[in-house]
Amino acid sequence: MQTQLLKIDSRHIDTEVIKKAAELIRQGELVAFPTETVYGLGADALRPDASKKIYAAKGRPSDNPLIVHIQEIKELALIAKEVPETALKLAAAFWPGPLTIIVWKNDRVPYETTGGMETVAVRMPNHAAALALIKESGCLIAAPSANTSGKPSPTEASHVAFDMNGRIPLILDGGPVGIGLESTIVDLTEQRPVILRPGYITKEMLEEALGVEVFMDPGILAGEQETGRQSGLKPKAPGMKYRHYAPKAELVLVEGDMASVVKSINELIKTKKKEGLKVGVIATDETKEQYLSDFTVSIGAREDKDAIARHLYKILREFDQSEVDIIYSESFAAKGLFEAVMNRLKKAAGHRILYV
Ligand code: AMP
Ligand code: MG
């Protein structure tokens, strides 16, 4: 299959391009498109055959459900068994935006889209091209991140093309995304709201909007501590249990105060170099000059959390193009947006963490 790449500018939407993409969606085909979080791989969410194509193109396990994208809050009622009060509060506060909610699904939503689950994940993206595509297609669009399963999510159209060339008919190129991490997922099907995946919308922001305490899925917290691997707790979002975002080279996180981290990483670099290995480092603007590595990339300045989130996946992909055998990364105190950054970094590292 030939993959076409068409530019789309959010400030001046080219209606011809959107019409073409919308027609493909209506035919049950796949279209990759930009959102504010990462690029999505879209298909008609209510057609089992279309959803199945997403799993095939990504090589995604079939038990890992898709997020359904809508372009108006009232479309939630088209797929939810009932719309809880909490959903309306969160929609009013954060939609369009980087928040996915989980509600009970109705019979319109095929199990192919929900990975066999009775619940459905829904989001309204804050991106003019994405909203225009959903509207023009007249469909609700199921869209996971547009990467090959297991790889870092795409934050630029070139990342999508690298993974999906020849597998899908069309990629809409809207330039680099604004946020760069996948949406926060909050489960509204239990007594209490539970975060299944941390993201740009933090626990504190959700609590302020809802006026009640919001909990973190114990399965995520357990998975983030090495000991959690033996605790038997599984994350509730099926996708969170899979190895993810991993670069080809082994990635190791180093945690501690800044001076100790730099010193320890440099000692490790010396040892690895003696073994004939090439070493990469994920540094920050504050430390990037201090490393003896073969390939050092700064993820951004520590006080600019947004930039660090935005750069993470691009950097992980860049390391795949470099020849390094092992990568050491600095860590961040897991608060606010850094909670999401650390969640992704730990998964990318397969939970290899050195405390210094
Ligand atoms: P992606 O769109 O690639 O970021 O993946 C979607 C994420 O949402 C995966 O981690 C899924 O496991 C999660 N997800 C989607 N639907 C549900 C659901 N009904 N219940 C729990 N998690 C879900
Ligand atoms: Mg994904």
Nearest residue to 33 via CA among 59, 61, 7, 65: 7
Could you tell me the CATH number of the domain that includes residue 34? 3.90.870.10
211 and 281 assigned to the same domain: no
Which residue among 231, 258, 275 closes a domain? 231
- Distance between Cα 354 and ligand 2 center (Å): 26
Strands 119-123, 99-104: pairing is: antiparallel
Q: Could you tell me the CA-to-CA distances from 186 to 85, 183, 253 in Å, in that order? A: 14, 10, 27
222 and 286 assigned to the same domain: no
Give dist(CA 160, CA 162) in Å, integer: 5
43 and 117 assigned to the same domain: yes
pTM, 2 dp: 0.94
pLDDT of residue 224: 57
Nearest residue to 343 via CA among 219, 206, 210: 219
Nearest residue to 223 via CA among 199, 196, 249, 205: 196
In a domain? residue 236 = no
194 and 288 assigned to the same domain: no
Range of the domain at 315: 250-355
pLDDT of residue 296: 97
Give dist(CA 241, CA 147) in Å, integer: 17
- Distance between Cα 54 and ligand 2 center (Å): 12
Specify whether the CB–CB gap between 8 and 129 falls below 8 A.
yes
Strand order in the sheet with 184-187: 4-7, 170-173, 31-33, 40-44, 141-142, 67-69, 119-123, 99-104, 184-187, 194-197, 215-216
To test ligand 1's pocket by mutation, which of 55, 64, 181, 313 has the most ligand atoms within 8 angstroms of CB? 64
Nearest residue to 155 via CA among 344, 347, 349: 344
Atom 21 (ligand 1) nearest CA = 237
Nearest residue to 24 via CA among 62, 66, 60, 53: 53
pLDDT of residue 232: 67
Low pLDDT (below 50) residues in the chain: 226-229
pLDDT of residue 227: 42
For residues 62-91, one letter each, b for 16 or more C-beta atoms within 10 angstroms of the residue's C-beta and e for the rest, the string is eebbbbbbbbebebbebbbbebbebbebbb
210 and 300 assigned to the same domain: no
pLDDT of residue 225: 53
How many structural domains does the chain have?
A: 2
Strands 141-142, 4-7: pairing is: unpaired
226 and 269 assigned to the same domain: no
pLDDT of residue 171: 98
117 Cβ inside 6 Å of ligand 1: yes
To test ligand 1's pocket by mutation, which of 35, 151, 160, 197 has the most ligand atoms within 8 angstroms of CB? 197
Count the residues in the chain.
Answer: 356
311 and 203 assigned to the same domain: no
181 and 131 assigned to the same domain: yes
34 Cβ inside 6 Å of ligand 1: no
41 and 179 assigned to the same domain: yes
In a domain? residue 238 = no
